[in-house]
Amino acid sequence: MTRTDANASTIDVRNIAPRERHPLIFSTFRGLAAGQAMELVNDHDPKPLYYQFQTEMPDTFRWDYLESGPDTWRVRIGKLAAPHGNGSCCGSCGGA
């Protein structure tokens, strides 16, 4: 992983063992503050990772393709702000 600026980091997983990729990606994402992003570089479309994010962390991320193959895929994964600052729902918005 390389740091590109104060608000983004780049993770190039092309030379990382497949079993280590998702734990590294999720660990890095969890370490981001709201509004920050990381850039993922991969040798294939990381669509299964996108579905895993949807399942495990719905409504907490933004997924933007920066490059879509054929040899390299780059995705910016941004961490969204929580809808409520303290992480709990006040009930007035219906949980939105």
What is the pLDDT at residue 11? Answer: 96
Any idea where the domains of the chain sit in the sequence?
2-79
Q: Find, among 10, 49, 14, the residue nearest to 32 by Cα.
A: 10
| 75, 63 contact by CB (below 8 A) | yes
What is the pLDDT at residue 24? Answer: 96
Q: Which helix (H) or strand (E) holds 11?
A: strand 8-12
Q: Which two tokens stand for residue 11?
A: 């993770």
The Cα–Cα gap between 8 and 82 comes to 19
What is the pLDDT at residue 82? Answer: 73
Q: What pLDDT tens digit does each residue of the chain (96 aa) get?
A: 444 444 569 999 999 999 999 999 999 999 999 999 999 999 999 999 999 999 999 999 999 999 999 999 999 999 998 766 555 555 555 554
Determine whether domain 2-79 maps to CATH 3.30.110.40.
yes
